[in-house]
Amino acid sequence: MANDNNKHEIDQVTGIETTGHEWDGLKELNNPAPRWWLWVFYATIVFAIGYWAVYPAWPTLTGFTGGSKNWSEYSQLKEHQGEITAMRAKYEARFTAADLKTIQNDPELYEYARAGGAIAFKNNCAACHGAGAQGGYGYPNLNDDDWLWGGTLDQIYTTIRYGVRSTSDQTRISQMPAFGRDDLLSREEIEAVAEYVQKMHLGDKAEKTATYEKGKEVYANNCASCHGETGDGNQDVGAPRLNDDIWLYGGDRASIINSIANPHAGVMPTWEGRLSDSTIKQLAIYVHSLGGGK
């Protein structure tokens, strides 16, 4: 014990006993730590044993000890997803029952739709349309006001739900004739109409060459029925507007010739059955809110 002076050397400077360890004349003082520290250490060991019993801990030959709670990151994820579903349930019933117009005018449902739609968009749509819905070659930009199949809430909803040239029975579908591949127009005619179409957005300011005038005639006979006499397009058949400077497959001469000779007929899948109707509604609201919505 500490007061057993016969057995312990006391350091004269500090008055503290030494442990008896000595290195080249340096002696180690013994300042005992409080005993409860030791108890806390033992308590952590007991805690660890309890932890092993409750949580996965030790590897075995075939796997690992699962613990009584059978906890896993996956089960925790499921639990958290359950919490999110429960949080959504508060809105979901009302949201499912509401039509798009009601949602658009209800601040709570609108925010719910935009938040949910933004996530669903990134998970399902961003691969083609881009994370900011800015589109790309062959994939429409959803921020602008140039719509193939219409930009009202209902039209957007229908497009997402049934897709374009998709496998759905109710898919939006139309087919532009392959004017070049099927020999419907001659090379000269295609070149002429391409020049006309390329200059359409310039309106009266376009330079009216002979080719231009010829193209105008070809356009009136072959294209105007779908794309409109002035090139306004027709959203009922998904015919793009041609009198603006927004091009899905490129606006240079070669691209336009290619589009006339070998039309692309892009496909958007049907999301019915893959996404819940509620999610499709959220997406419609979200896409509409990007700025191009009518």
Partner 1 sequence: MSNPEQITFFEAQKRIYPRDIWGRYRQLKWLAMGVLLAIYYFVPWLRWDRGPHAPDQAILIDMPARRAYFFSIEIWPQEVFYITGLLILAAVGLFFATSLLGRVWCGYACPQTVWTDLFIKVEYFFQGDKNARQKLDAAPWGLNKLWRKLATHITWLLIALCTGGAWVFYFSDAPTLADQIMHFNIPWSTASWIFGLTASTYIMAGYAREQVCTYMCPYARFQSAMFDRDTLIIGYDATRGEPRMSHKHGDSWEGRGHCVDCNMCVSVCPMGIDIRDGLQMECIACGLCVDACNQVMDKVGLPHGLVRYDTENNQLARNAARKEGKSVTERLRIIRPRTVYYTGIIAVVGCLMLYGLLTRQPFQAHVLHDRNPLFVKLSSGAIRNSYTFKILNRDHDDHDYSLQVNGLPRAEMKIEAAGQPDAAHLRVLADSVGQFRVLLSLPADALTMKRENIRFQVTDNTTGKTEAVETMFVTGE
- Per-residue b or e along 8-23, where b marks 16 or more CB atoms closer than 10 Å to that residue's CB: beeeeeeeebeeeeee
Q: Dihedral angle at the C-alpha atoms of 222, 224, 229, 233, nearest 10 degrees?
A: -150
Q: Is 102 helix (H, G, I), strand (E, B) or coil?
A: helix
In the list 12, 25, 34, 74, the residue contacting partner 1 (rule: CB under 8 A) is: 34
For partner 1 (CB under 8 A), the number of binding residues is 44
In the list 20, 50, 66, 82, the residue contacting partner 1 (rule: CB under 8 A) is: 20
Smallest separation (angstroms) from partner 1 to the CB of 60: 35
In the list 26, 33, 84, 97, the residue contacting partner 1 (rule: CB under 8 A) is: 33
Query: Among residue numbers 130 through 159, which ones bind partner 1 (CB under 8 A)?
Result: 130-132, 134, 141, 143-146
Handedness of CA 180, 185, 186, 189 (dihedral sign): negative
Smallest separation (angstroms) from partner 1 to the CB of 152: 13
Smallest separation (angstroms) from partner 1 to the CB of 106: 6
Give the chain's end-to-end CA distance (angstroms, integer): 90
Rg over CA atoms, the chain: 37
Regarding 58 and contact with partner 1 (CB under 8 A), the answer is: no
Regarding 35 and contact with partner 1 (CB under 8 A), the answer is: yes
Identify the burial level of 228 via C-beta atoms within 10 angstroms of its C-beta, where 0-12 means exposed, 13-18 middle and 19 or more buried. middle
Regarding 88 and contact with partner 1 (CB under 8 A), the answer is: no
DSSP 218: H
Query: Among residue numbers 188 through 227, which ones bind partner 1 (CB under 8 A)?
Result: 201
Q: Which residues bind partner 1 (CB under 8 A)?
A: 1-2, 4, 7-9, 17-20, 30, 32-38, 104-107, 109-111, 130-132, 134, 141, 143-146, 201, 241, 244-246, 289-293
